[in-house]
Amino acid sequence: MVTKALIKESFFISNLNGLHPGKNSYFTKLNILSSIILTAAFGVECLLELLQGWKGLISLDSIVAVIAMYQVLSKLSIVAIYRNKLNEIVDCIHKYYWPLDKCGKKLELEFQYIISSIRKIMIVTITLTTITVSTYVIAPLLYTERKMPIPTFHPTDLTKSPNYELAYIIQVVIIFKVMPPSVLAFDLSFISIITYIVFELRMISIEIKTLEIDSTTNDNDTGILERLKLIGAYLTFESGNVANAAFRSKWWVKTQPRLRRSIALIIQRSQKPETLTAGGMIKLNLETFSN
């Protein structure tokens, strides 16, 4: 099933952080916990660097780093907390998804085209994210001054070797382990599940539209509804006329206070015209049957 394959593909990158909803081993839980701890620790280092070396707008890189780590940590935590619920949704998709071949070749081809487009969007998203992260990692190597990809607090002197090299390698590993999977895991999973919902609703809509008249359908119902809609339309029209007539009666200049109060009460209570309904579900009037 193409949609199931799309969901499986969207969760592939989640494996890097243990966020795949279908896997619940001890290694997976340890992977999630380590990712959250690394992200939180990295965010604290960015915050300490910001507080220690605050220089106004010059500290913009540190501000961006703190915000990015907060977003990554938020997405990691949300996906980790609701992983079991996400697993239930995926199981329902695998069990109850309507086969595409039930809706004809044309619709199946349309869905396959949409899935192909979404796959391309996912590939572009992964590529752009990887390029962006790689740019942050490679950029410090272009300067003669020793800089880190993301400004963080470090207790040792990074201008000396091998402190700089070790800190640089550790930060690069943390960045590639935490940022791309955490940013993309939620987004790609969300896109694939919403795609499934769109397909499901589309197929339900088509099935309802193509329902055929069978032996249990009473052909006389159409004529009965035609007559009832006319009666319902007259009822709504005339009850609305009561309010109009009462309002146009110049009730506010009547000398009898009791008469004024009575007409004002009629106007108030007749603001909602009477309607005839079919079991309280739809209104039987011209407007309903002309749509």
Going by C-alpha positions, the residue among 94, 87, 88 that lies closest to residue 22 is: 87
Q: How confident is the model over 12-38, as pLDDT tens digits?
A: 767 666 676 667 777 777 877 888 888
Q: What is the mean pLDDT of residues 82-107?
A: 72
Residues 264 and 237: their CA atoms lie apart, in Å, by: 20
Confidence of residue 68 (pLDDT cuts 50, 70, 90): confident
Residues 201 and 208: their CA atoms lie apart, in Å, by: 11
Going by C-alpha positions, the residue among 104, 103, 171 that lies closest to residue 136 is: 171
Q: How confident is the model over 118-144, as pLDDT tens digits?
A: 888 888 888 888 888 888 788 888 887
Higher confidence at residue 95 or residue 43? 43
Confidence of residue 43 (pLDDT cuts 50, 70, 90): confident
Per-residue pLDDT at 212: 67
Per-residue pLDDT at 2: 47
Residue 267 contacts residue 277 (beta carbons within 8 Å): no
Q: How confident is the model over 253-282, as pLDDT tens digits?
A: 766 778 778 888 888 877 777 788 877 777
In this model, does residue 110 exceed pLDDT 50?
yes
Structure tokens at 24: 């619940």
SS3 73: helix
Residues 277 and 275: their CA atoms lie apart, in Å, by: 6
Angle between helices 163-209 and 60-81 (to 10 degrees): 50
Amino acid of residue 288 = T
Going by C-alpha positions, the residue among 87, 42, 86 that lies closest to residue 66 is: 42
Residues 157 and 79: their CA atoms lie apart, in Å, by: 37
Per-residue pLDDT at 42: 82
Give the whole-number percent of the chain exceeding pLDDT 70. 81
In this model, does residue 210 exceed pLDDT 80?
no
Which range (175-179, 183-187, 189-193) has the least confidence?
Answer: 183-187
Confidence of residue 217 (pLDDT cuts 50, 70, 90): low
Per-residue pLDDT at 99: 63
